[in-house]
Structure 1
Amino acid sequence: MIYLDYCATTPMSDSALEVFIKASKEFYGNPSSLHDVGTKAKSLLEQSRKAIASCVNTEAKGIYFTGGGSDSNNLAIKSLVKGKKGHIITTSIEHFSVLNTFTQLEEEGFEITFLDVDKYGVVSLDTVKQAIKDNTVLVSICYANSDIGTIQNISQIGAFLKDENILFHSDCVQAFGKIPIDITSLNVDSISLSSHKIYGPKGVGAVYISPKVSWKPVIPNTSHESGFRAGTVNVPAIASFAQAAIEICENMEVEQLRLKQLSQQLLSLLSNNCVTHSLIGHPDERLSHHLSLRVHGIEGQYTMLELNRKNIAVSTGTACKVEGQNASKTMLQLGYKKDASRELIRISMGKHTTEAHIIETANAIKDIVETTLP
């Protein structure tokens, strides 16, 4: 099977798997236990915290481990606004874990503004400025969109919000390991990360919240992770996550250049094969391994299933969408009509993707178009 759904999840790297196995065998203690076995696990946990912090150029004190990207978004947002009232700003194309969290907060009395984006999925600084109110307490904008790959100008927006003394959270799950994340230069107060998007294990993620920012635990009297998240910490998975993070960040620049070349090759091959298609999202400010394609005249779900028959795995967008929803929520927000929004497929490449895979995929899409359309 040619796997081209790396935005949904990634296979664990050999080194991350080795760390997971070793940590499971040798660092099995509860890091909250005071005996030597617990202390040994605690030491590995703190080393892992420092490793994740170094990947985003910040201090370990602000890193809290979670159960994954969605868990990170939920906990970060709720911890930042707990005990407060007022107005929150986000965009209409955030990941469902963010949108669902804000829907819940709206039911609890917060006023939520869902900002519109332009045809490329970009939210402008002026749009953010116009939405600010006297009681705005938080802004949350995703760094890189999972459906269309568009990268937002988080640094510029963050600089403005810092001057306004408004908290700024960014979902960095898709961006981590693909583009540089520097907490200081991004001007963010909080970010969310996930392990299984970067060749680490599933079920583990992280949140950064600036030590300068006050927050309240979602569940009172929680002892783990300085009160941020309840439950015994999964030290082996966290150590494996840290290993995967170190590895992907060290190789990021070279790997993303390679993946960008493969992306451009696929687009060229589709054009040469006379496949009528459109690239959805920003043409330049986008994740280099991510292609959100509309194959004109064919439903994305059909294209995905036909590619699967040909042993090629792609998706029709984020894997966390509502079951049974064929139309792309993000494309609808970008202004596409429902029929067009059903034609989306998402091709996302990774470290195991080769030029031969790209050629075979382009030929397979050509075959599907030729046998489907009149």
Structure 2
Amino acid sequence: MKRVYFDHSATTPVDSEVAKLVLEYMTDKFGNPSSIHSFGREVRKSVEEARDKVAALIGAQAKEIFFTSGGTEADNWALKGIAAANRKKGNHIITSSIEHHAILHTCEYLEKQGFSVTYLPVDENARVNVEDVKKEITDQTILISVMFANNEVGTIQPIKEIGKIAKEKGIYFHTDAVQAVGHYPIDVNEYNIDLLTLAGHKFYGPKGVGALYIRRGVKINSFQQGGAQERTMRAGTENVPGIVGLGKAAEIAKLNMEKEIAHVKALKDKLIKGITEKIPDIKLNGHPELRMPGNVNFSFLYVEGESLLLNLDLKGIAASSGSACTSGSLDPSHVLLSMGLTHEVAHGSLRLSLGRGNTEEEIDYCLEVLPEIVARLRSMSPLGAGSSTIESNPCSSCGGH
């Protein structure tokens, strides 16, 4: 059976060059970077070279990069670290309603610690309004955290404009850029970003490693205590294989980014065009233009997203749905609901996220099997085209997109 991977927003395959390097540092070059003998010194040098490469990918200085276990840890550190270090200055944080749960749950935790959090709404394309950011700033605001690009619908936020506002107001600005780093050009100085989260497994690096960029001079507490690693900011023996793999992935991403963007965007455009032409009663989710190059997200009216997902899997196509069936929850995506979709329409969503290894033949295969699956599921669904529940849904008027 043909196997097609269209779930790169969830994770990417490890690049072969990265995998080779990781193995080398798990076997031959196994020293502890804190050791002063030759085994340790050799590894320490490699860790710092990786730091240089990650910094170069986002236009930062090497000393502003701090390695973590991944994006979730970096998000937690950014929010909790800024909150704790700047509590005397203020207790207000601004974020958006469509952030990753690593941000939203951390904000909920901080609210229990006495902090005030504003959750900005988004428009029908999942984009934050810059004027809303300005309106919500108070003399107590210490941090603005808005993701660079949404993980579900791919919408790119007005990061440059938000960064400018934050700088003018003297407020720290953090962006969760896990979905964008390695796939979209980012310069932290151009965008006035003070803190940035990234994760290796989202751009062909290993899982279990990421980084937090912290601009020099930012007042932030350390993440954990117990050693001098990461300049005393993040204690614990470094994940050397992961770090060198992250560095290599960053190096490859920077070198090939322009070519990869063109390739993936062409596939995305073909897939969106084909789905739109072949399947009626659908809605493209996310901004039609300001979106990540490889993100495709549709709602298919009268169909459950989980059913689509399982039927595609039977055909060898890996994708993801907008409702959290794997967590045992019947609730649809908080992102889609924040965009104004009803529960019924949000439940019928499907994300197809493309990567550098995908081909036109794979797009053709998807366009061959997906319409058949949708038609079959609709023919069996109690929520068929004649359902008053769906027809009364205002979003159904967008179905012909």
Q: Confirm or deny a common fold (TM above 0.5).
A: yes
1:57 matched to 2:62: no
Q: Distance in 2 between matches of 1:353 and 1:319?
A: 26
Q: Which runs of 4+ in 1 moved over 4 A?
A: 317-323
TM-superposition CA deviations, 1:235-280 (whole Å, max 9, x none): 1111111111111221111111111111111122223323432110
Q: Distance in 2 between matches of 1:318 and 1:369?
A: 17
Q: Distance in 1 between matches of 2:304 and 2:316?
A: 19
Q: Distance in 2 between matches of 1:321 and 1:110?
A: 32
Equivalent in 39, 47, 51 of residue 37 of structure 1 = 39
Q: Distance in 2 between matches of 1:208 and 1:323?
A: 35
**8 Å contact from structure 2 (residues 323, 331) kept in 1:** no
- Which residue is equivalent to 1:363? 368
**8 Å contact from structure 1 (residues 27, 235) kept in 2:** no
Equivalent in 96, 101, 105 of residue 106 of structure 2 = 101
Q: Distance in 1 between matches of 2:157 and 2:82?
A: 22
**8 Å contact from structure 1 (residues 275, 366) kept in 2:** no
Q: Distance in 1 between matches of 2:171 and 2:58?
A: 21
Equivalent in 199, 216, 222 of residue 194 of structure 1 = 199
Structure 1 regions of 5+ residues with no counterpart?
A: none
Secondary structure of the residue that 2:231 maps to in structure 1? helix
TM-superposition CA deviations, 1:43-65 (whole Å, max 9, x none): 11101001100111111010000
Q: What one-letter code is carried by the residue in structure 1 that aligns with 2:164?
A: A
**8 Å contact from structure 1 (residues 96, 321) kept in 2:** no
- Which residue is equivalent to 1:46? 48
Q: Distance in 1 between matches of 2:337 and 2:347?
A: 9
Q: What one-letter code is carried by the residue in structure 1 that aligns with 2:272?
A: L
- Which residue is equivalent to 1:80? 82
Q: Distance in 2 between matches of 1:83 and 1:58?
A: 22
Q: Distance in 2 between matches of 1:310 and 1:322?
A: 23
Equivalent in 137, 141, 153 of residue 142 of structure 2 = 137
- Which residue is equivalent to 1:171? 176
**8 Å contact from structure 1 (residues 167, 189) kept in 2:** yes
1:373 matched to 2:375: no
Give 1:220 shift.
Answer: 3.8
Give 1:325 shift.
Answer: 4.1
- Given the superposition, is the C-alpha separation of residues 12 and 319 from structure 1 closer, same or farther in structure 2, using an over 3 Å criterion? farther
**8 Å contact from structure 1 (residues 141, 171) kept in 2:** yes
TM-superposition CA deviations, 1:65-103 (whole Å, max 9, x none): 000111111112212221433100000000010111111
**8 Å contact from structure 1 (residues 173, 192) kept in 2:** yes
**8 Å contact from structure 2 (residues 302, 378) kept in 1:** yes
**8 Å contact from structure 2 (residues 324, 333) kept in 1:** no
TM-score (norm 2): 0.90
Give 1:27 shift.
Answer: 2.4
**8 Å contact from structure 2 (residues 151, 179) kept in 1:** yes
**8 Å contact from structure 1 (residues 79, 215) kept in 2:** yes
**8 Å contact from structure 1 (residues 161, 168) kept in 2:** yes
**8 Å contact from structure 1 (residues 31, 233) kept in 2:** yes
- Which residue is equivalent to 2:20? 18
TM-score (norm 1): 0.96
Secondary structure of the residue that 2:173 maps to in structure 1? strand
Give 1:321 shift.
Answer: 8.5
Moved more, 70-79 or 106-115: 70-79
- Which residue is equivalent to 1:273? 278
**How many percent of aligned residue pairs carry the same amino acid?**
36
- How many corresponding residue pairs? 374
Give 1:224 shift.
Answer: 1.6
Moved more, 60-69 or 75-84: 75-84
Q: What one-letter code is carried by the residue in structure 1 that aligns with 2:75?
A: N
Q: Distance in 2 between matches of 1:144 and 1:311?
A: 28
- Which residue is equivalent to 2:261? 256
Equivalent in 332, 354, 359 of residue 354 of structure 1 = 359
1:219 matched to 2:224: yes
Q: Distance in 2 between matches of 1:229 and 1:368?
A: 49
Q: Distance in 2 between matches of 1:214 and 1:155?
A: 22
**8 Å contact from structure 2 (residues 74, 197) kept in 1:** yes
